[in-house]
Amino acid sequence: MLRASSQQNDQAVDLAAIMDGHTVSGIAAGEYLVAYAEAVVSRAPSRITAAREALSAALGSAAVVDAAGVISNFQRMVRIADATGIGLGVFEVPSADMREALGINAFRHHD
Amino acid sequence: MPTSLSAATITGPRYHNAGFPVRADFAEAHQRFWQRLATPGTWWTSAERIQLAEEVRAAWDCPLCCERREALSPNAVQGSHASVSGLPSAAVDAVHRITTDAARLTRSWYQGLLEDGLSEGHYVELVGTVVSLVSIDSFAEALGLPLCELPSPGDGEPSRYRPATAAPDDAWVPMVPDDNSGTPEADLWPAERTANVVRAMSLVPDEVRTLCDLSAAHYLAMEDVGRPGVDRGGALERSQIELVAGRTSALNACFY
């Protein structure tokens, strides 16, 4: 969806930022958003506090709340996908090139 | 989703002293989940659902889970979970593994749970309960807030409702077909316009309803997810939202 939303807005985005976390994404304040996501997933309180304060300074406290909502949403969605063994369905074909390029296929289920 | 709650009956997260401008729809959605925990589900009683939630919180500090997460393969480490409930061992293992190491679950592991007596319906409702609490607790942790106390269990028996159309499909678990028109599950998604990650919960329709309810507060209304030009009008632009979503998914090693 990042690729689609950036194309919609004519934004140049480097999708590698999703996989490695240090590539400059091209998204406004992307480095703060990525750092916050990494901190929350790590569950390390001191790291979360530091990343939250940096994001708040960059984008404001309402953005922190919105980002917390999105991160925690995907803490849920990834577990649904992993725990139910779903296939990609309608996303299989349109995402094939991107998945190959970014190495996402390495995350596939092992039966 | 369920009706709004009166002030006298509100339990669950409120966020009124959060120190951040937490939107009201977060608290409302989270309180509806708390209400669901306090009532019987489709396959589990309220008391059992709350025990599932307690196991989620215990899993993070479970020595077996910690050791398995560090191992090259989770199957290389044997032992017992640090359980805090009287739930069957298959349920405890499912809760702990989904909470702490979901990316390395396998179909054979899932089949083992069924062979140990967990039904498909019990499993799907367990997944829904676990992932909802993981999400709500993660939201609190992200904002540096204490975790909300779980509700007291309510009375009543599970409905044991199973959609007549649910069948094996593109998942380990049975799912309602993409075309759900003319069925009791027609409200779950517009016919032939949904994704497997939503259908994955459809063996227990109330889990899809909870998923949609939480998603609307945390991310986007389900009907807007596939519309990349839609912005929810919050503090983040859509591309910023999707960057956060993508990075979180990658950190969890999720293929989807």
Question: Smallest Cα–Cα separation from B204: which of B244, B237, B163?
Answer: B163
- Helix, strand, coil shares of chain B, percent, nearest 5, are 50, 0, 50
pLDDT at B3 (0 to 100) = 46
- The 10s digit of each residue's pLDDT in B8-22 is 455 899 998 899 999
pLDDT at A88 (0 to 100) = 76
Q: Which residue has the tokens 């939201």?
A: B139
From B103's Cα to the closest Cα of chain A, the distance in A is 6
Domain range for A22: 2-107
DSSP B27-41: HHHHHHHHHHHTS--
Q: Quick check: B109 contacting A, CB < 8 Å? A: no
Chain B residues whose CB is inside 8 A of the A38 CB are 247, 251
Confidence of residue A20 (pLDDT cuts 50, 70, 90): confident
* B167: β partners: B175
- The 10s digit of each residue's pLDDT in A25-65 is 889 999 999 999 999 999 999 999 999 999 999 999 999 99
pLDDT at A93 (0 to 100) = 64
Q: Do A79 and B228 touch (CB under 8 A)?
A: no
What region does B235 belong to: left with phi over 0, alpha with psi -120 to 50, or beta?
alpha
From chain B residues 26-45, the ones with a CB under 8 A of any chain A CB are 26
Residue of A2, A19, A25, A100 to mutate, testing the B interface (most B Cβ within 10 Å of its Cβ): A2
Q: Do A107 and B108 touch (CB under 8 A)?
A: no
Catalogue the long-range contacts made by B163-169 (C-beta closer than 8 Å, 24 or more residues apart): B163/B202, B163/B203, B163/B205, B166/B202, B166/B203, B169/B199
pLDDT at B30 (0 to 100) = 98
What is the distance between the alpha carbons of residues A11 and A27, in angstroms, rounded to a whole number? 8
Handedness of CA B107, B170, A91, B136 (dihedral sign): negative
DSSP B100-153: H-GGG--HHHHHHHHHTT--HHHHHHHHHHHHHHHHHHHHHHHTTPPPPPPPPP
Chain B residues whose CB is inside 8 A of the A49 CB are 144
With 70 as the cut, is the pLDDT of residue A92 above it?
Answer: no
With 80 as the cut, is the pLDDT of residue A3 above it?
Answer: no
Nearest to A74 among B94, B99, B248 (CB): B248
What is the distance between the alpha carbons of residues B62 and B83, in angstroms, rounded to a whole number? 8
DSSP B191: T
Size of interface A-B (CB pairs under 8 A): 258
So where are chain B's domains?
Answer: 23-225
pLDDT at A111 (0 to 100) = 64
Phi, psi of B175 (to 5 degrees): -135, 155
Q: Do A74 and B249 touch (CB under 8 A)?
A: yes
Angle at B78 between CA B134 and CA A106, to 5 degrees: 60
- What mean pLDDT is reported for chain B? 94
- The 10s digit of each residue's pLDDT in B214-247 is 999 999 998 888 888 888 889 999 999 999 999 9
Domain count, chain A: 1
pLDDT at A26 (0 to 100) = 87
DSSP B166: -
Question: Smallest Cα–Cα separation from B30: which of B234, B213, B222?
Answer: B213
Angle at B222 between CA B219 and CA B225, to 5 degrees: 70
Chain A residues whose CB is inside 8 A of the B214 CB are 73, 76
pLDDT at B8 (0 to 100) = 47
Name residues of chain B where pLDDT drops below 50: 1-8
Nearest to A87 among B26, B138, B196 (CB): B196
Angle at A12 between CA A6 and CA A17, to 5 degrees: 85
- The 10s digit of each residue's pLDDT in B48-65 is 999 999 999 999 999 999
What is the distance between the alpha carbons of residues A26 and A12, in angstroms, rounded to a whole number? 6
In chain A, which residue's Cα lies nearest the Cα of B208?
A80
Chain B residues whose CB is inside 8 A of the A80 CB are 127, 131, 197, 200-201, 211
From A1's Cα to the closest Cα of chain B, the distance in A is 6
